[in-house]
Structure 1
Amino acid sequence: MASPESKGFDRDRLSRINSWMERYVEERKFAGSSVLVARGGEEVWFNATGQRSVERDLPFERDTVVRIYSMTKPITSVAIMMLAELGLFHLDAPVSEFIPAFGKMQALVPGAIRFEQTETAPAPTLRQLLTHTSGLSYAFNPGLVGKIMAEAKIDFRSPTASLEEMSNRVAALPLAFQPGRHWEYSVAIDVLGRVVEVVSGQSLGAFLQNHILGPLGMTETAFVVPEGTGDRFASLYTPLSGEPMELNAPREAGDTLRLADEAGSSGFERPACESGGGGLVGTIDDYIKFVEMLRNGGMAAGGRLLSPRTLDFMMRNHLPGDIASMGPRSFAEQPMEGMGFGLGGSVVLDPGRVGVPGSVGDFSWGGMASTMFWVDRKLDLSVVFFTQLSPSSSYPCRAELKALVHGALVG
């Protein structure tokens, strides 16, 4: 661990992060949280506060295991790019080459009000899946496709259906729009997880363990709560009275920290589907290893995962403009104005339009339980924030944390 001063930080200003975290706990917005800030590959600040379980009075600590939800997506995207580097496919290949169920697709016509109002559509390409321009959707998104996904419980969190089965069920639905026409947050990365299985001949969990998690030394990150973690698995809370991901018709609960999921009854302890879009759990010390690999051009303690050129390619904007220019509006883990999208994460195009301090080219993503990371390669900066409150749209914690970190960076 390096001193903040040696890495260009003002120690007193960094300490504001602790006060901010404590305020969120005192106001019962978060049960607990942790943050890790590194610069130039060295840790300069860590803090944890609050509780991982309010009911059992257990503290939120450095080794607390959390649901990272959509922070799984960048890891799965790296898996796809590792296979692409082997020359096993190109990114403009249609997904139907790997999952035949996508062979005959239909898309809703513009302005459709019924599911029958469709037209023929091509199968989305791998690149369109990586960039959320495939026409797929999420059950919590507005619109017809989101509605039918919610009714059919197509969310890749099934305790019984496999990744293959869930992907085939998605393929049977119409697309929300013609591939490439819009940006909409979706289960696309879950589908890509199935592509990893088909191409590699391994389960998604085995591939990630053998080629990413293992080489990075991420020993407490997996699709199930790792054995030996005891009571370190955090509880999940929500301010909503219904499902913690019910974004279309949210109803506030009387308690801002209503228990939504806990150890002993959590679906993350016995999942049948290895969700490449949102299924991993892990610790903050594990996830910073992945973020540092991104910052460090693909290198890991166990060897190189990707080439620097491939990572540069991933962290470029792959949209014709910002996300906002490619509506319709859907839920997203980051702002849409001034923000582009790469392969597996968002890319800052204009910090002024994003409305948050940062550098052009910042690469980041978050998870539904309000977790987030960002890597700023211009400033040699890596940050990971963990908490467990869903939905992540409840409070502006991500923008506030970025402002705090940049407000402490003076050199």
Structure 2
Amino acid sequence: MAVLKVEAEPGEVGFDPDRLARIDTHFQRYVDDGRLAGWSIALARRGRLAHVSHYGRRDLETGLPVDGDTLWRIYSMTKPVTSVAALMLYERGALELTDPVSRYIPSFADLRVYQAGSALKPATVPAVEPVRIWHLLTHTAGLTYGFHHAHPVDEMYRAKGFEFAAPRGMDLAAACDAWAALPLLFQPGAEWNYSVATDVLGRVVEVASGQSLDEFFAEHIFGPLDMTETGFAVPPEDLDRLAALYTPNPTGGLIRNTSLGEAITRPPSMLSGGGGLVSTLHDYHRFTQMLAGGGQLNGERLLGTRTLRYATRNHLPGNADLDAFGRPISAESAFAGIGFGLGFSVVVDELAGKVLTSPGEFAWGGLASTSFYVDPVEDLTVVFMTQLLPSSTYPIRPQLRALVAQAVVD
């Protein structure tokens, strides 16, 4: 197993070491007062790893510590991996961003759009244009999640067994057919709504490539990037390395979430490109270094520089942010000043969100409070791992950005 090692003294890449220490001091308090069980952080600048730290326990019940080989459920940090896979196929001519999804998943032809009514008796109208690949990449397809609890269509997803996962025994192809049979929230391209779109995109990757999603990831992404610990399930021999999953206890401290937490311990029937991966700090750091490196790492090129530059621009109409164009639901990003590209959130107005950041920063996070971001202005990458549901519990992400930014002094 590979463990991250610091490659540069903080001062060599423009960090004040005393200010950098504030990051650890701040998040240690999260563990000491019982808000988090433990965490890991990796921070690189100019392509050199300058800070790695671990604190707390990966399992409160056994007392095992967080360390460099801890395995973390990354949930929606799977989405950028799936998006990169689709972009790789785009570069090979295997698909076009404007292709109708029905070219790869026939059930996505002749979709209906919710107009009024209840989950039991919805009134629908025909979609005026097809859902296209770029709609999936930008979450503008009109799909949703059952766990939003914000709309009758969300309720319809839950009634079919889709809340945080698919019904047991259902594979990805069948799940896509089930979603296609439900109404869209809105006409394709009309709004932004966080959704199963990236799971559907994962199925497109399978059909366009002729490989299952796990096979494509392993051969074309994880292998080239030396991400040997990332996959859709934890094998039995590595279960002691898996961090436990927790939710806040209303009376204080944490409650172990075994119902969701144990899902990753067995091979899934549905390969979720939207939220199915487990990874390590080392592996996801490698992925962010590829992104920061313009699509390549150590001579292994996954994407062309122009493709990545295009994908990390705001693709929402009129350069709108999520606050103006998105549905008011929970997602793995703030909304004010944040646009959305082809698989990543993108900062379009660094002043609007009142968080210390840079224009063009691209990022995403996961349901269990994990997050990463790439700041091309400051040439830095940050990965934060922990296991607390839901990610909206504490303002970890804006605090992390402020603490990292204040440590850059060159």
Give the structure-2-normalised TM-score.
0.94
* Aligned residue-pair number: 398
Q: What are the within-5 Å matches in structure 2 for residues 315-394 of structure 1?
A: 315-320=312-317, 321-394=320-393
For 2:330 and 2:261, locate their aligned partners in 1 and report how far apart those are by CA, in whole Å: 30
- Alpha carbons 1:223, 1:268 under 8 Å: kept: no
Which structure 1 residue ranges, 5 or more long, are not aligned? Answer: 241-252
- Alpha carbons 2:373, 2:382 under 8 Å: kept: yes
Amino acid at match of 2:201: L
For 1:49 and 1:262, locate their aligned partners in 2 and report how far apart those are by CA, in whole Å: 25
User: Could you say which residue in structure 2 is the equivalent of 1:401?
Assistant: 400
Which structure 2 residue ranges, 5 or more long, are not aligned? Answer: 1-6
- Alpha carbons 2:239, 2:265 under 8 Å: kept: no
Query: What secondary structure does 1:53 align onto?
Result: coil
Give the structure-1-normalised TM-score.
0.94
CA positional deviation for 1:146: 1.1
- Alpha carbons 1:333, 1:392 under 8 Å: kept: yes
For 2:253 and 2:154, locate their aligned partners in 1 and report how far apart those are by CA, in whole Å: 26
Query: What secondary structure does 2:352 align onto?
Result: helix
Q: Is 1:180 equivalent to 2:179 in the alignment? A: no
Q: Of residues 104, 109, 115 in structure 2, which corresponds to 1:103?
A: 109
User: Could you say which residue in structure 2 is the equivalent of 1:144?
Assistant: 152
For 1:175 and 1:265, locate their aligned partners in 2 and report how far apart those are by CA, in whole Å: 31
User: Could you say which residue in structure 1 is the equivalent of 2:99?
Assistant: 93
- Bigger drift between 54-63 and 183-192 goes to 54-63
Q: What do you get for the CA RMSD once the two structures are aligned?
A: 1.6
User: Could you say which residue in structure 1 is the equivalent of 2:4?
Assistant: none
CA positional deviation for 1:81: 0.4
Q: What are the within-5 Å matches in structure 2 for residues 216-365 of structure 1?
A: 216-226=225-235, 228-239=237-248, 253-261=250-258, 265-301=262-298, 303-320=300-317, 321-365=320-364
- Alpha carbons 2:79, 2:275 under 8 Å: kept: yes
Q: Is 1:127 equivalent to 2:134 in the alignment? A: yes
Q: Closer, same or farther in 2 for the Cα pair 1:364/1:78, shift >3 Å?
A: same
CA positional deviation for 1:134: 0.4
Q: Closer, same or farther in 2 for the Cα pair 1:19/1:83, shift >3 Å?
A: same
For 1:353 and 1:278, locate their aligned partners in 2 and report how far apart those are by CA, in whole Å: 29
CA positional deviation for 1:230: 4.3
Query: What secondary structure does 1:30 align onto?
Result: coil
Q: Which runs of 4+ in 1 moved over 6 A?
A: none
Q: What are the within-5 Å matches in structure 2 for residues 6-45 of structure 1?
A: 6-45=12-51
- Alpha carbons 1:131, 1:343 under 8 Å: kept: yes
Amino acid at match of 2:130: A
User: Could you say which residue in structure 2 is the equivalent of 1:206?
Assistant: 215
User: Could you say which residue in structure 2 is the equivalent of 1:66?
Assistant: 72
- Alpha carbons 1:137, 1:146 under 8 Å: kept: yes
Could you tell me the percent identity over the aligned residues? 47
- Alpha carbons 2:10, 2:17 under 8 Å: kept: yes
- Alpha carbons 2:113, 2:126 under 8 Å: kept: yes
- Alpha carbons 1:215, 1:301 under 8 Å: kept: no
Q: Deviations over 1:333-387 (max 9, x none)?
A: 1111110001111000111102211110000000000000000112110100000
For 2:126 and 2:353, locate their aligned partners in 1 and report how far apart those are by CA, in whole Å: 36
